[in-house]
Structure 1
Amino acid sequence: MFRKLPGDETRNLVSTTPDTAVVFRPAVVKTPAIVTIVIWLSRLFAGLARLVVRHPVAVALLVAFGVVWTLYGWRQALVLTGFLPSAGLSWALLDRASFLRLIGWRLLAFWRRVWIYRRHWQPVMIVSGLGRHLQGRDYLPRLVCVECDGWADRVTVRMLSGQAVTDWANRTDHLAHGFGSPSCRVTVAKAGRLVLTFPRRDPLAEPLPAVPIPETADVGAVEIGQCEDGTPYRLKVHGTHVLIAGATGAGKGSWLWSTIRGLLPAMRAGLVQVWALDPKRMELSFGRALFGARYAADPKECADLLDDAVSVMQERADRFAGLQRSHTPTVADPFVLVLVDEVAFLTAYQSDKQLRQRITAALATLTTQGRAVGVGVMAALQDPRKEVMNIRNLFPDKIALRLDESEQVDMVLGDGARDRGALADHISPVPERGAGVGYVRLETSPDPVRVRAAYVSDVDIREMVAEYSGRSEVA
């Protein structure tokens, strides 16, 4: 016997007959046809509007083809079909940059959105755990748009309600392999939206020649090399402190010498002084003549030079107190940049305990009080562990070159940096491909930027010494 009960009446049913089957018949609400039509039309118009906004080039081409076919017939439409590729090819040959900016990258973004991301979106989201399949329905993050440039795709995603950025940062490997990219980086666009960067190639695979020496004396940001997007990278050294960490052969010297190279005109003008500490006696000693008396290699001499820098800092602080809160480089009060090539040798591996304490105390004093009075520190080291460098958190700006272990990335750049795409442990150990490549995390931005510093060769350093050592425009 079967009984059909509407609504929730089944919960009140008590049956003592074992062969009685209860069939639930849900209540049916009939929607007026006009409501269905209005909803369908609104969704259609909204979809067309999104299509025009996201793919204006493709839509314009289709509309132009249809208009010509309607007004002039199919023959003229075929002529237009053959003319457009020829015109586009001519434009690309005559002005490639504008063609790519206005047409090329948009068409590539349309193609990759349809063929790569939209086609694989559902399985990648479900398998990686970023989507959910519940009761026969898929709940997926929304693919908002895809933008392309010369080296990467940038995919804007709207997260599901309740998701966090860490949910995506912990699955960058899944996303990269799912969409056929060597890596994936996650950045926050705004609340609820992320930008996933999928590189298509590595523009930093080839070494960069030394950056030309600036023509003017400027103590602003120094051009070091090139960012991953092809733009020049400028590193701020005045008003901050910089820590560079990398394994042996990672290219720390490229960052040090590129910084010196960019400051040479200001050094000649008397606006900058570079104080060099070179305990290994290998890297900075090659251009020792550029530093004059402000060069130290022996640990005791290094400690004395750091104490002198502290004295300069304290003397300026006494004079500036109550008068100014920031430093402007002048000939009377130049910007002092203290370069330390292998700081771990002085702070951890030095056998003399008193020297270790003096050096650590001086570096701590400079990194906590030197920014406002124009004394900066740029230190390089190989081992970023806290017991080796216990004041690493006093450096606002940090650079991670090639590192041996994945845990070291967060030691250098801060918690979560590797999850955001700073894969410093994956940088190639081959010097031609990986030397000088690193991830920069600035005080003003939590997102790491991949950069390659230009290679300053021995010949370049000799020319710098010959041109700028022992001569100054200021007496």
Structure 2
Amino acid sequence: MLRRLPGDEVRGLVSTTPDTAVVFRPAVVHTPAIVTVLISLGRLVAGLIRTVLAHPIATVVVAVPGVTWTRYGWLATVIVVTVPGSVLAGWAVADRPLFDRWVGLRLLAFWRLIWIYRRHWHPVMTISGLARHVHDRDYLPRLVRVTCTSWADLITVRMLTGQSVKDWADRIEHLAHGFGATSCRVTVARAGLLTLTFPRRDPLAVPLPAVPIPDEVSVGPVEIGRCEDGTPWRLKVHGTHVLIAGATGAGKGSVIWSTVRGLLPAVRAGLVQIWALDPKLMELSFGRALFGGRYAADPERCAELLEAAVKTMQERAGRFSGVRRDHVPTVEDPFILVVVDEVAFLTAYQADKGLKLRITAALATLTTQGRAVGVGVLAALQDPRKDVLSIRNLFPDKIALRLDESEQVDMVLGGGARDRGALADRISPRPDLGAGVAYVRLETSPDPVRVRAAYVSDTDIRDMAATFTTDALDREEAR
């Protein structure tokens, strides 16, 4: 039996078979034209208010000449435009960073909002699959704000209800090409809001010279290069473990030597000891004098050095137990940084199974127990697969230099890192463009950061070895 529903009419229904599905069409209520006009005007006014609040300088620049032309004529408009324009031009020449901060970047943001993002927002959202069409209505994510920095556009977006960050992370290439950028990165601003980063230029395209040796004594974070936003890249080594992965020629040596360079004043003060394992006999041997007796290249000697670090760690743990939970570097208990240039030579490619087990066990012990007592591990490798380094997840902080395959990015930085914009497999293989460029994912943040390590030349290493040696420390230990 048919049941009458509110707003439905059953008369006129034709069914040739008893089991044919009956479709009811709800009654359509026509909205008065005045209501539609008022809603449209309200949206227009709200949009104008949002534009004025978000871009006050750009609004003044556009509005003042128009009002002046209307009320006082073209001559007054020329004067109004020329005088402030000359002042702003002089300001830009005299102090360009301050001008960009208060005027230039705001005008650029307004221009790119109107000409790039607002103009292409609907087609890009629709074609990329981020918009939804329901009941003859288009639902678009809302473009909240555009902010420009010296190198990128930061787009704040409000997601549609029910969307997830992964929906956007899976479409970073669609977004980048849709808005004419080389890449796109997705970060969470707060619940429901995302920040899309579209670079306009590459601030890391030029190689960086070696960072000057610091004057102050510190165990870190150590400045070893530059971040994409222009701030110094400071690598934390005390209280963590760091894994560096990259193909041949990607710049692993730049990260290692820049770290050693930043720790040299603390090494000379006796607050830091660097224990170096160099199974390839190529990278760390240049500065062997910096490590003194704590340098090993032979696999047997590497195993002994690692086991000595484990013994020191366990001895400290026994003394610190019940007394303190955090390590403070002192001359009696310095911070020990174990540097392994190519850890795969010792774990995966080691023919002696006995040595392989000893080395793997020692590294696993150090990475699980060493942080609290002042023993850190800085390890580098080329192949990040699990069967090459089974303990890679024990490194809280990870650095991905140029990698050969896209799957390796998530192997190094963790699941979803590439979807969020860590395109380590697309770093240029040219040494002048890509050596030292990397993506960093820290324990405290899921978002990868693009950086570039400074290049430490052979001459810099020899100068370091000639100036900062561990002879004095060795003599103190011999006493």
* Contact 2:291 2:470 (C-alpha < 8 Å) held by counterparts: no
Instruction: Tell me the amino acid that sits aligned with residue 8 of structure 1.
Output: G
Cα distance, 1:151 vs structure 2: 1.0
Q: CA deviation at 1:466?
A: 1.1
Instruction: Letter of the 2:168 partner, please give it.
Output: W
Q: Match for residue 359 of structure 1?
A: 359
Please name the residue that 1:160 is paired with: 160
Q: CA deviation at 1:54?
A: 1.2
Alignment of structure 1 residues 43-58 onto 2, 5 Å: 43-58=43-58
Q: Distance in 1 between matches of 2:7 and 2:72?
A: 64
Question: In structure 1, what is the equivalent of residue 250 of structure 2?
Answer: 250
Q: CA deviation at 1:47?
A: 2.5
Contact in 2 for aligned 1:153/1:197 (Cα 8 Å) = yes
Whole-angstrom distance in 2 between the partners of 1:25 and 1:406: 51
Alpha-carbon distance between aligned partners in 2 of 1:452 and 1:134, rounded to the nearest angstrom: 46
Where does 1:50-449 land on structure 2 (aligned, <5 Å)?
A: 50-65=50-65, 68=68, 74-449=74-449
Unaligned runs of 5+ in 2: 1-5, 17-24
Do the aligned residues in 1 keep the contact of 2:241 with 2:397 (CA within 8 Å)? yes
SS in 2 for 1:240: coil
The answer on whether the counterparts of 1:287 and 1:465 sit within 8 Å (CA) in structure 2 is yes
TM-score calculated relative to the size of structure 1: 0.93
Distance 1:30 1:327, change over 3 A: closer
Stretches of structure 1 that go unaligned for 5 or more consecutive residues are: 1-6, 18-23
**CA distance 1:16–1:380, shift in 2 (3 Å):** closer
Provide the aligned C-alpha RMSD in A.
2.3
CA distance in 2, matches of 1:374, 1:415: 29
The whole-number CA distance in structure 2 between the counterparts of 1:106 and 1:381 is 44
Asked if the contact 1:268–1:471 (Cα under 8 Å) also holds between the matched residues in 2, the reply is no
Q: Deviations over 1:230-256 (max 9, x none)?
A: 111100000000000001111100000
Classify 1:111/1:448 alpha carbon distance in 2 versus 1 (closer, same or farther; 3 Å).
same
1:75 Cα offset (Å): 2.3
Question: Which segment drifts farther, 364-373 or 106-115?
Answer: 106-115
Work out whether residues 269 and 472 of structure 1, in 8 Å CA contact, stay in contact via their aligned partners in 2: no
* Identical pairs, percent: 69
8 Å contact 2:206–2:433 — kept in the other structure? yes
Offset of residue 84 of structure 1 = 2.5
Distance 2:36 2:117 in 1: 31
Q: Specify the code of the residue in structure 1 equivalent to 2:378.
A: M
Aligned partner of residue 254 in structure 1, secondary structure: helix
What displacement does 1:38 show?
A: 6.7
Aligned to 1:450: 450
Determine the C-alpha separation between the residues in 1 that align with 2:28 and 2:227.
62
Query: Distance in 2 between the 1:390 and 1:297 partners?
Result: 22
Q: Tell me the distance in 2 between the aligned counterparts of 1:25 and 1:298.
A: 83
Q: 2-side partners of 1:58 and 1:41: how far apart?
A: 23
Which secondary structure state, in structure 2, belongs to the residue aligned with residue 410 of structure 1?
A: helix
Displacement of 1:212 in angstroms is 0.4
Distance 2:41 2:182 in 1: 42
TM-score of the pair, normalised by structure 2: 0.92
Helix, strand or coil: the match of 1:261?
helix
What's the CA shift string for 1:318-374, capped at 9, x where partnerless? Answer: 000001000000111100000000000001100100000000000000000000000
Q: Kindly state the Cα deviation for residue 52 of structure 1 after the two structures are TM-superposed.
A: 1.4
Cα 1:363–1:60 change in 2 (3 A) is same
Which residue is equivalent to 2:9? Answer: 10
Equivalent pair of 2:397/2:441 in contact (CA under 8 Å): yes
Q: How many residues align?
A: 464
